[in-house]
Amino acid sequence: MSSNFYQTIDVNKSSMDIEKEIRKYWKENKIIEDILNKDRNLKRYTFLEGPPTANGRPHVGHLMTRTVKDTVMRYKYMSGYDIGRRTGGWDCHGLPVELEAEKHFGFNTKKEIEDFGIEKFNEYCRNSVFTYIDEWNEVDSEIGYWIDENKSYVTLRNDYMESEWYALKKLFDENMLVKDYKIVPYCPRCGTSLSSHEVAQGYKNTDDISVYVKFRVKGSMNRYLIAWTTTPWTLPSNELLVVNKDFDYSLVSDGNNEYYVLSSTVQSLFKDAKVLKTMKGKDLVGTRYEQLMPFLHVGSNALQVVPGDFVTAEDGTGIVHAAPAFGADDFDIAKEYNVSLINPVDSEGKFDNSVPWKDKFVMDVNPDIIGYLKENNLLFKSQKIKHTYPFCYRCGTKLLYYPLDAWFIKVSTIRELLKKNNDKVNWYPEYLKDGRFGNFLNDAKDWALSRNRYWGTPLPIWKCSNGHYLAVGSREDIEKHGGNIPDDLHRPFIDAVKLKCPECSETMEREPYVIDTWFDSGSASYAAMHYPFNKNFDTEGIPVDFITEAIDQTRGWFYTLHVISSLLFGRNAYKNVMSMSFILDENGQKMSKSKGNFVTARDFISMYGADPARLFFYTGAPWNSKSIDKKLIGDTARKVFGTLSNVYSFFASNANLDGFVFQDLEPSSNLLDRWLLSRLNSTIENTRKNMDEFDMHIALRNIMDLINDFSNYYLRLSRKRFWEGKLDDEKKRAYETLYYTLINILKLLAPLAPFYTDYMYQKLSGPEKTIHSEKYPEPDNNYIDSDLEKEFKYAISIMELSRRARQESNIKGRQVVGNIMLYSDMELNPAILDIISPELNSMDIKFIPFGERPVKTTVKPVFSKVAPVLRGDTNKFAEYLNSENIYSELKKTGKITYKGNEFTPDFFEIHEDPSPEYAFASDEKTGISVFINKNIDNNLLLAGYAREIIRRIQIMRKDLNLEYSRNIKTEINVSGDIRKSIEKFMDLIKNETLSKSIEFSSSTDGKTWDIDGENVQISITPVN
RNA sequence: GGGGUUGUAGCUUAGCUUGGUUGGAGCACCCGGCUGAUAACCGGGAGGUCACCGGUUCAAAUCCGGUCAGCCCCA
């Protein structure tokens, strides 16, 4: 009894159409809301979103990170966890926003901003932050990234900043947040210092000029110390020269002048120079020299040679020019020798009026400096160099190292704690833990936290005129100290708040800094929950279970999360962290707006569809670089979705014809069923392990292997079972196995490809329930039969070898052959051999012992050994060995006698070749050999034709959509061998096609087939 | 300069942790095909100095050392 229970589908329906339909289904049935909001009272698995800067557009790399986040959360949800903190997050502060505002207003300097007004400037910043928020939300919806966007944390909110203030006060009270005057990396355009991990993101290869400079020894007319530098502009500020006291130095003469240089550099610096004497660096210490440029007043301790271990032999002359205002090492050594800083450079990076280059940007003055040196006979030589140098990673300006007051978090004091906490984190891939990230922790530097800018979380430190400091840890603290709480904690409102000094009652003003925006995002674990002010949240949920972002966050967000959590709570911020590589363009190049190969997330989805995109991200390990590959995206999607749709279509059309509706999986004794269910459960076991270890790319591979076996072996070998007449138990088992496997494959795949799997799930189960509420499959070990899987692997190998042998001997697959002989090390279950026998298409199939293999064993001489014995008779001997029974004689007697000479087996090579009458293929790995008898006698030929006739009639039955038990009357118009074939195999053809009668006719009705060049006309008519 | 990582067929890759069998796969290329699911499919083939040089071992893609090249990080 037929039915229409299972809907027919269009197997070529595009992924994008399917996705559109499923988004509509999710929306109309409130699927996403239900899953996000339902508390199932299960164990929690917490996630933490890494906040993108909200004012940038989502690109394809974001698609990949969002896909992975979504996959992990779906998998954990289906595996029986409630997902905690399944929300978004937005990073709202910092230079990315300010630069956009500057561009909008046409500003280039801080002065322009301050003249314009910080309030108006920040108002624009606040309003522009969410320029692309709608695009982000649309992209999330399109890719199927399920997060509660209404609960997203936003770093510009007062609550978020208040939590940060709590943290900063705590650090201040613990003397971990301190003010210091140091040489810091500094951007003269942005007018602010940067932290070490910000500097790290801005290194570029660049060309520069370097100079070798002559410092005249005091009291001499022509004796010089030569120093090398890549920053000529710092020469006016020279105060010391530094040598390594353990190195060898030489005094050389070029005829006119004498020079001190590192001994190992003499030959490269001088062509013809006489070494006057050699000494250790320590012998140079104390030497005084004339000031290079007489513009700045220096102290009495300056202008001398001092020792320093940081001096190396690799570059320059072994004599280092020190300008303490512009280098950290220089700064330290100046302190050691009581040398005061002299700094002619203002905060915009321009010289002041103490040097001849007033108001000029220092980097632009290098040519003038070199000109001055030449004019004054102080330049030994100059040369261009290529080196890496730090640039502002936001605006692109070359950084200076510059003396500045700044607030620091003394991170260097907790390096051991950082490393100890890192030990508790699972890194994917693992080598990041002790490699890139571990090294970063080893060298952790004090965090230069404060920024001389406008749009950011204000540093909550107030100062009075007596130099007292107060850290404010909450809005309430402001009132407590005599201030009014502003509605908005940002500048300039917070700047207007005056407090009363608790120590001396003087008026206190806030220090004019905002903080590093990385502190914002690094505080997400607690500040997103308004801790400690939100009494509904405590820190038990820290560390969170899982975070992931791109590889650059190793020195960004992953680092700041780790540091802040260690500082505040003494422990790691996250348990599992996965780092993902970048998506490259089709040519393997990094993508950027400046290169013009930038691909937005929206464009990518429009081109390929969400599920194909998602699967593409799993075609390799997410932490390996991947190039966009249009072909691979399409192929992978078709392999998975096309094949599953086709299997479903087969199932649905047959089940409907039989009136089958799935109830439950009953135990099947059929070997094919048992094999498939074993494969399914093995795959479930492996896939769960893969997903637990964040190897979703390996999970996809395992699932794809199963789909292939399912379609090309199980279904192919099972088809006839679905065409048997009655829906008996045997047939039901087949339907049940097919259904059960299909629906479980969809569940395995659901976290990876959520749209397609929900679409197919509805076809199988109805629209009442989404697949994403289903449990992730668990393996049932009762179904796993490794021996049976191994046996089927052998059987598949036999099929493949049989095809290969036919292919090589030009025997078509449809041609029945007389016999096939198989040799194998392993015994194969005859029942399985019976299963695959239709594929082998042979009258007779049997296993044979080793000795019966139809191989011709021949004996050939080892010429290098035989020739010395037989000389001219060697070729005759080789012909003699072609005689029959030579191999038998050698085996029997252990020797061959020829012309009075006895030859033992070591004179021969034994060759085995298949007998010419057999097509042959073998696989050494499995030990299987297949021999196909090539002889096609007339009977086999006719049998082959009979199969062709049967096939044609079956196709015609299919076209008429006949039930499989329906009888027909068949009329055929044909002559010659094909007619003889029908006459000979009449009964077989009748039985196979349910033809009550087969008549030869001269009628022109029906369909004309071409069978081996012969026209065959067949007409079929249903009869009762 | 230091640290990490990568190098396998034309391209993309599995295998390396735990040494042992002809080194697997997809795509491209060549060849075949409607055997009553599937032709954007199915089937078969060819193609590999496992970057190079040494070492250890009965045996090395796999372990060790050096060199070369790419990428990332520190500076």
* pLDDT confidence of residue A496: 96
Query: Does the CB of A12 fall within 7 Å of any strand B atom?
Result: yes
Residue nearest to nucleotide B40 (CA to C1'): A638
Same CATH topology for A206-388 and A626-784: the answer is no
* pLDDT confidence of residue A891: 72
Read off the pLDDT of each residue in A126-147 and give the average, rounded to a whole number.
Answer: 93
* pLDDT confidence of residue A76: 95
Query: Does the CB of A926 fall within 7 Å of any strand B atom?
Result: yes
How many C-beta atoms lie closer than 10 Å to residue A462's C-beta?
A: 25
Annotated catalytic residue within A38, A111, A590, A876? A590
Q: Which 964-1003 residues of chain A approach strand B with CB closer than 7 Å?
A: 964, 992
* pLDDT confidence of residue A872: 67
Annotated catalytic residue within A407, A427, A557, A1009? A557
Q: Which 314-343 residues of chain A approach strand B with CB closer than 7 Å?
A: 314
Strand ranges (E), A445-592: 447-448, 450-451, 461-464, 469-471, 499-500, 507-510, 514-515, 544-550, 574-580, 583-584
Architecture label for domain A937-1022: 2-Layer Sandwich (3.30)
* pLDDT confidence of residue A587: 67
* pLDDT confidence of residue A562: 93
Q: Which residues of A756-795 are buried (b: 16+ CB within 10 A; e: fewer)?
A: bbbbbbbbbbeeeebbbebebbebeeebbbeebeebbebb
A380 pLDDT more than 60: yes
Read off the pLDDT of each residue in A60-89 and give the average, rounded to a whole number.
Answer: 92
Is A51 tagged catalytic?
yes
A379 pLDDT more than 90: yes
What is the CA A926 to C1' B24 distance in angstroms? 14
A91 pLDDT more than 80: yes
Query: Does the CB of A804 fall within 7 Å of any strand B atom?
Result: yes
| pLDDT class of A161 with cuts at 50, 70, 90 | very high
What is the CA A632 to C1' B29 distance in angstroms? 17
Query: Closest nucleotide (CA of A621 to C1')?
Result: B13
* pLDDT confidence of residue A365: 92
Helix or strand run (H / E) with residue A259: strand A258-262
Read off the pLDDT of each residue in A242-267 and give the average, rounded to a whole number.
Answer: 90
* pLDDT confidence of residue A96: 84
Query: Does the CB of A384 fall within 7 Å of any strand B atom?
Result: no
What values do phi and psi take at A330, rounded to 5?
-60, -40
Query: Does the CB of A388 fall within 7 Å of any strand B atom?
Result: yes
Residue nearest to nucleotide B11 (CA to C1'): A629
What values do phi and psi take at A215, rounded to 5?
-100, 115
Query: Closest nucleotide (CA of A804 to C1')?
Result: B44
Annotated catalytic residue within A52, A90, A233, A553? A553
Break chain A down into helix, strand, coil percent, rounded to 5.
45, 20, 35
Nucleotides of B under 7 A from a protein CB: 1-6, 12-14, 21-22, 24, 26-28, 31-38, 40-45, 71-75
A479 pLDDT more than 90: yes
- Residue A692 in tokens: 């637990």
Query: Does the CB of A848 fall within 7 Å of any strand B atom?
Result: no
Lowest mean pLDDT among A77-91, A506-520, A613-627, A639-653: A613-627
What is the CA A212 to C1' B4 distance in angstroms? 35
Query: Does the CB of A625 fall within 7 Å of any strand B atom?
Result: yes
What is the CA A639 to C1' B10 distance in angstroms? 24
Of residues A897 and A452, more confidence is placed in A452
Query: Does the CB of A744 fall within 7 Å of any strand B atom?
Result: no
pLDDT tens sequence across A896-925: 778 777 777 767 766 666 777 888 887 766
* pLDDT confidence of residue A596: 66
Mean pLDDT of chain A: 87
* pLDDT confidence of residue A997: 86
| pLDDT class of A530 with cuts at 50, 70, 90 | very high
A373 pLDDT more than 80: yes
**A206-388 CATH fold:** Isoleucyl-tRNA Synthetase; domain 2 (3.90.740)
pLDDT tens sequence across A121-132: 999 999 999 988
Query: Closest nucleotide (CA of A649 to C1')?
Result: B37
pLDDT tens sequence across A939-952: 888 887 888 888 88
Query: Does the CB of A601 fall within 7 Å of any strand B atom?
Result: no
pLDDT tens sequence across A533-585: 999 888 888 999 999 988 778 878 999 999 999 999 999 999 999 888 777 77
A981 pLDDT more than 70: yes
* pLDDT confidence of residue A520: 94
**A29-163+520-609 CATH fold:** Rossmann fold (3.40.50)
* pLDDT confidence of residue A428: 85
A593 pLDDT more than 70: no
* pLDDT confidence of residue A883: 72
pLDDT tens sequence across A597-613: 778 888 888 888 999 99
Query: Does the CB of A440 fall within 7 Å of any strand B atom?
Result: yes
Query: Closest nucleotide (CA of A205 to C1')?
Result: B75
For residue A423, give the amino acid letter. D
C-alpha to C-alpha distance for A6 and A809, rounded to whole angstroms: 44
Annotated catalytic residue within A70, A91, A446, A611? A91
Per mean pLDDT, which of A207-216, A469-478, A966-975 is the most reliable?
A469-478
Residue nearest to nucleotide B2 (CA to C1'): A439
Cβ atoms of residues A792 and A763 within 8 Å = no
| pLDDT class of A871 with cuts at 50, 70, 90 | low
* pLDDT confidence of residue A2: 64
Residue nearest to nucleotide B73 (CA to C1'): A436
Query: Does the CB of A204 fall within 7 Å of any strand B atom?
Result: no
A410 pLDDT more than 60: yes
Is A590 tagged catalytic?
yes
pLDDT tens sequence across A619-632: 877 877 777 878 88
- Residue A517 in tokens: 């925006």
Query: Closest nucleotide (CA of A637 to C1')?
Result: B40
* pLDDT confidence of residue A987: 86
**Has the ipTM of the complex gone over 0.90?**
no
| pLDDT class of A208 with cuts at 50, 70, 90 | confident
Read off the pLDDT of each residue in A820-848 and give the average, rounded to a whole number.
Answer: 83
Is A689 tagged catalytic?
no
Of residues A225 and A991, more confidence is placed in A225
For residue A588, give the amino acid letter. G
Is A324 tagged catalytic?
no
A245 pLDDT more than 90: no
Per-position DSSP letters for A912-955, written without gaps between them: EEE-TTEEEEEETTTTEEEEEE----HHHHHHHHHHHHHHHHHH
Query: Does the CB of A436 fall within 7 Å of any strand B atom?
Result: yes
What is the DSSP-derived secondary structure letter of residue A217? Answer: B
A602 closest CA partner among A16, A51, A136, A145: A136
What are the boundaries of each domain within chain A? Answer: 29-163+520-609, 206-388, 460-512, 626-784, 855-914, 937-1022
How many C-beta atoms lie closer than 10 Å to residue A550's C-beta?
A: 20
* pLDDT confidence of residue A588: 67
Place of tokens 């004179």: A907
Query: Does the CB of A420 fall within 7 Å of any strand B atom?
Result: no
Cβ atoms of residues A344 and A295 within 8 Å = yes
* pLDDT confidence of residue A594: 62
* pLDDT confidence of residue A912: 65
* pLDDT confidence of residue A240: 93
* pLDDT confidence of residue A127: 93
Cis peptide before A429 (omega within 30 of 0): yes
C-alpha to C-alpha distance for A764 and A923, rounded to whole angstroms: 41
Task: Tell whether the torsion through CA atoms of A241, A242, A246 and A252 is positive or negative.
Answer: negative
Query: Closest nucleotide (CA of A957 to C1')?
Result: B36
**pTM > 0.80:** yes
Query: Does the CB of A723 fall within 7 Å of any strand B atom?
Result: yes
β-pairing, A995-1000 vs A967-973, is: parallel
Alpha helices in A273-344 (DSSP H): 328-336
What is the CA A432 to C1' B58 distance in angstroms? 39
Query: Does the CB of A793 fall within 7 Å of any strand B atom?
Result: no
* pLDDT confidence of residue A34: 93
Of residues A429 and A175, more confidence is placed in A175
A851 pLDDT more than 80: no
pLDDT tens sequence across A734-767: 999 999 999 999 999 999 999 999 999 999 998 8
pLDDT tens sequence across A29-51: 999 999 999 889 999 999 999 88
Determine whether the annotation assigns residue A593 to a binding site: yes
What is the CA A635 to C1' B27 distance in angstroms? 9
Query: Closest nucleotide (CA of A636 to C1')?
Result: B26
* pLDDT confidence of residue A60: 84
A1010 pLDDT more than 80: no
Query: Does the CB of A607 fall within 7 Å of any strand B atom?
Result: no
Cβ atoms of residues A77 and A771 within 8 Å = no
Does CATH number 1.10.730.10 belong to domain A626-784? yes
Read off the pLDDT of each residue in A667-681 and give the average, rounded to a whole number.
Answer: 92
Of residues A976 and A464, more confidence is placed in A464
What is the CA A706 to C1' B29 distance in angstroms? 28
A1 pLDDT more than 60: no
Of residues A142 and A317, more confidence is placed in A142
What is the CA A635 to C1' B10 distance in angstroms? 19
Of residues A22 and A898, more confidence is placed in A22
Is A553 tagged catalytic?
yes
What does chain A come to in residues? Answer: 1024
